[in-house]
Every structure is written in structure tokens, then in C-alpha cells.
Amino acid sequence: MNKLFIVALSLVSLTATAQVIKSSGKKVVIKDQLQLNYNVGNKVLFKNSMGQNQGIGTITKTKNNLALIVLQEGQATDIYRIIASTEVQSSQVITQKKTASTRFGVNVAFENRTAQEIKTEGEVAKRDEIKSADDFASMSDILDHKSVEILGEAEFQLNNGFSTSTMIGASFSPNNESISYTDGPVTAKIENKFFEPKIMQKLSYTTELNNIKVKPFALIGAGLYSNTMTLTVDAPGFTDVSEVIETKVTGRTLYLGAGTQVSINENMSVFAQYKVDKVSNLEAETDGVKDEDDNSSSDYLQHSTLSLGLNYMF
């Protein structure tokens, strides 16, 4: 009988020693010395005395301090030798905490969102034109956003390391973005306030690199775009009061993106992601009066967004 040992990570991150008392083909029985009460569904990673991975399995049955492990298929590389092989005299096994089928969490990210293309009144402007400034401001001063994204997340485990998440929340500018202009006694200021509720769907794959969990993902989503711009003009000597004009632009957003999430610990991870979006069905109203442009149904706005954030799962 091969003498195989395991280091088990308990729910409180304590380590303990257990012994493999029987192995046959892809089935292994371990005896838990400290009665840590392994759960069905726990993943078990076998390592040899050199610390090399030998195989991975799943606990399928428990009784008292015994657990039956079935090795997964596909252990075909050199370092994934069958655990019952005579080449392996002793081994370590790391038992991971059972992953719940559903987890809930929150994501907080800082976004740098830049307008790449806009179509209004039948004319299309690319990024270079959007950035071109006139005497006061460029379109990028109004259409680009540095925002915060907060999303609640419900993650559902699939098979073979895959999971899918539904995320609901919003992006918003934490402070009103503003630009100012002065020409003699005349001063003008634009305040820009951005808010966008959204729903996102994410597909992730979890793997390990140097014992660090890495989770690449792809996502799609939709949102309701709202950007309110307030222009305030003061012209002493010409008028005794400030002139204020408020313009609100709304539309429907579709997202497509990808990113990578890296675990810090069991509950917390950091992530970076890149998204592109298209805001269509643009509508504008000034001081509460809707713009009735006949071509507005074909108007659109496209962005690209870089995000850095923190994910916490409960």
C-alpha cells in the first residue's frame, strides 16, 4: 500500500495530516486524523514529495473521518501521473474549501471612458475631431468620463472551472466634471454630470498560475446612458444675472468587453477590464424642451473604457 499524506486546508485555514489508506485506479480513500469533516464536492490536489502536481480529484462520499476521492479525467501530462503508480511513494494533497454553487459579491471599479466616435445630424466625427478644441472646449471635454462603477454580483458555478455572473449596478461621475473659460469680463463654465444604470453578464474561467487563482472573463451588457451638461455664463456689464442652460443627452447602451481577475485571498480579488460600447437612440433636451431632430433615431455615440477595480465575494 502506498503511503500518501495530505495537507488539508480547513474552513479556518488550519493544516492537518491525513493518510491515504486505499487506492485503486482513479479511486482513493483518505482517513482524516483530526476529523475536519471534508464535504462532498471538495477538490483535492495531489502532490509528490517534490511539490509537483500528481492529479486532482473530487470528494464524492464521506463517512465519519473517511472520504472517497475520484480522480478527474485528463491527467495525461508527465506531472499528472496516476496517484496509485509505484513511482509515487508519498504525496501531499491540498483540499480546497468547497465552492458554493452560488456566491454573491460586489465590484467597485474606476473607469476611464473615452468617446471614439459620434454621429449627430447625419455627420460622423472620429476621435481626432472629438478632441479638437474650439475657443472654449472640445467635445471630448463633455463626452469623456472618469467615473466609478459599482455592481452587485451573483456568481453561479458551472462545470470544469467555468462560472457565469449577473451584475447589476451603475456608473457615475463622483464629482461634477467641469471646465471653465474666461474672455475679459465674460466667464463661462460647463459642469458635466454622468449617470448610467446597467446590467452585465459575465462568463469566467478559473485557473491557477504559481498557486495564484487567475480568472479571465468576457462580458456583455446593457445600460441607460444619461449625461447632463450645465452651461453657466456670467457677463458683467452686459447682463445682471448669470445665464444658465441645461442640456441632457440620453440613450441606450450596449457593452462588449473582456478582462482578467486575480485573487488576493479566498474572498477578494483585483481586476482589469476593457470594454467598448455603443450608445444609440440618442435624445437631447435643453431646459426641458426635447430636440425634435428627424435624424436623431440614427444618432449614436461610441466609447472605449479601461477599468481597474476590486471584487469582494461573500
In CATH, what number is assigned to the domain containing residue 23? 2.40.30.20
Instruction: For residues 58 and 136, state if they share a domain.
Output: no
Same domain, 141 and 89: no
Q: What is the pTM assigned to this prediction?
A: 0.67
| Domain end residue (candidates: 72, 95, 118) | 95
Grid coordinates 477599468 are at which residue? 307
**Nearest-angstrom CA–CA distance, 116 and 258:** 18
Helix (H) or strand (E) holding 140: helix 139-143
Q: Is the pLDDT of residue 89 over 80?
A: no
Question: Quick one: 152 and 35 in the same domain?
Answer: no
Cβ atoms within 10 Å of 313's Cβ, excluding its own: 17
pLDDT of 233? 87
Same domain, 156 and 270: yes
Please indicate, yes or no, whether residues 112 and 242 belong to a single structural domain of this protein.
yes
Query: Tell me: the pLDDT tens digits for 22-36?
Result: 777 777 777 765 555
With cut-offs at 50, 70 and 90, classify the pLDDT of residue 88: very low
pLDDT given for residue 4 in this prediction: 37
Domain count of the fold of the chain: 2
Does the pLDDT at position 12 exceed 70? no
The strand pairing partners of 289, in sequence order, are 286
Least confident of 13-22, 130-139, 151-160, 266-275: 13-22
Residues 136 and 244 in one domain: yes
Last residue of a domain, one of 61, 95, 129: 95
Residues 305 and 165 in one domain: yes
pLDDT at 40 over 70: yes
| 291, 285 Cβ separation under 8 angstroms | yes
Q: What is the mean pLDDT of residues 151-164?
A: 92
Backbone dihedral angles phi then psi of residue 72, each to the nearest 5 degrees: -75, 160
CATH of the domain at 225: 2.40.160.20
Summarised one tens digit per residue, pLDDT across range 236-280 is: 777 666 788 999 999 999 999 999 999 999 899 999 999 999 999
In this structure, the answer to whether residues 74 and 127 fall within a common structural domain is no
Same-domain check for residues 121 and 268: yes
Q: How high does pLDDT run on average in the chain? A: 79
Predicted pLDDT of residue 48: 56
**Is the domain of 110 the same as that of 220?**
yes
Indicate if the alpha-carbon torsion angle 182, 301, 122, 128 is positive or negative.
positive
Q: Is the per-residue pLDDT at 148 higher than 90?
A: yes
Report the alpha-carbon distance of residue 223 to residue 306 in Å, rounded: 17
Percent of the chain with pLDDT over 70: 74
| Domain match, 149 and 90 both | no
Residue 71 confidence (pLDDT) above 90: no
Q: How far apart are CA 220 and CA 305, in angstroms?
A: 13
3-state secondary structure of 46: strand
Among residues 74, 95, 116, which one ends one of the domains? Answer: 95
Does the pLDDT at position 137 exceed 80?
no
* Residue 81 domain boundaries: 4-95
Residues in contact with 228: Cβ distance below 8 Å, sequence separation at least 6, in sequence order? 192, 193, 194, 246, 247, 248, 249
Q: Clarify whether residues 70 and 182 are in a common domain.
A: no
